[in-house]
Amino acid sequence: MWLAAVAALTLTAVLGPRTESPAQDGVRLGAKVDLNDNLPPEARGITVVQNLGDVIATNLPLTDSEGNAIKTGYIFNGNLPTIVTLNYSDCPMLCSVQLNKLTESLNQLDLQLNKDFKILTVSIDPNETSRRAAETKDKYVSVLSNQPGAEQGWTFATAKQPIITKLAETLGFKYRYDAANKQYNHPAMLAFVSPTGVITRYSLSIDFPPEQLKLALVEAGEGTVGNAVDQFILWCYSYDPDSNSYTPHAWRIMRLCGLGFIGVLLTALVPYWVGRKGNPEARQEADSVPTFPGSDSRTDGNAPSQNE
């Protein structure tokens, strides 16, 4: 106890008596205070507006990692759904974390790149070269051991600033260039796009569980991806924007259980009903009136004659 007292006296001597600042006085008097929202200025406004249902134009010019001039219609050609990401090769951290997590999930996915879906990664840096984009592509495609079609199915592309701006606006991707640090401040985003360019779903985290990835691709595929079981599973789930994931659809599952119960009940009762209708002897036996010893079994309604 005496040690605590000595420490308190020492701090008082060093720091001096406690005084309240004018700001503290103002708070006590009920003055208006602007609370800090814990976001640094460079991070404010960096977000994704989910433009579900919007369509990506098919005439936006891009340059792929091999230096070929292509348009977005080359990707959104009506055949396969596409995962769209906006990144850049010189990103100091977030892009690498996001794409590393994506490749981990792709290696666990039972859907195949270039067969069931495609990926389009467009650089948000207008100064990025095709050669630099090719280096980035090799970095991630090389680790996709379970995706043999990754080389053809994953397109890395660059574009001029007006095209980048147009694509980002369509996707609701809000980013900003930080001139002081010479880097782009941007969110993490996967956009799932239908074969015709319609935005169907977003993933706004850096972790992409394979089962969630598959559900989003099946939904974006509009019946072209997955088998009947996958479509049925998707029917039982709905997307929850608050948790940014697919969750079981309680009402649909309850309906399904109710239909299943009715089906089991009919399966048990129908053979019984059909058997009764198809067996006259069983029906006659069930409908006959029992007789007892000594009773008259005649059914013609006439009394017995005296000669009998």
Instruction: Say which DSSP state 44 is in.
Output: T
- Using alpha carbons only, give the angle 287, 289, 293 rounded to the nearest 5 degrees: 150
Please tell me the distance from the alpha carbon of residue 233 to that of residue 218, in angstroms, as a whole number.
10
Residue 95 labelled as part of a binding site: yes
Residue type at 245 in one-letter notation: S
Is 236 known to sit in a ligand binding site?
no
3-class state of residue 246 by DSSP: strand
Q: Is 257 annotated as a binding residue?
A: no
DSSP state of 89: T
SS3 string of the chain?
Answer: CHHHHHHHHHHHHHHCCCCCCHHHHHHHCCCCCCCCCCCCHHHCCCCECCCCCCECCCCCEEEECCCCEEEHHHHCCCCCCEEEEEECCCCCCHHHHHHHHHHHHHHHCCCCECCCEEEEEEECCCCCCHHHHHHHHHHHHCCCCCCCCHHHHEEEEECCHHHHHHHHHHHCECCEEECCCCEEECCCCEEEECCCCEEEEEECCCCCCHHHHHHHHHHHHCCCCCCHHHHHHHHCEEEECCCCEEEECHHHHHHHHHHHHHHHHHHHHHHHHHHHHHCHHHHHHHHCCCCCCCCCCCCCCCCCCCCC
Q: Is 77 helix (H, G, I), strand (E, B) or coil?
A: coil
Going by the annotation, the residues of the binding site for Cu cation are 91, 95, 186
Going by the annotation, the residues of the binding site are 91, 95, 186
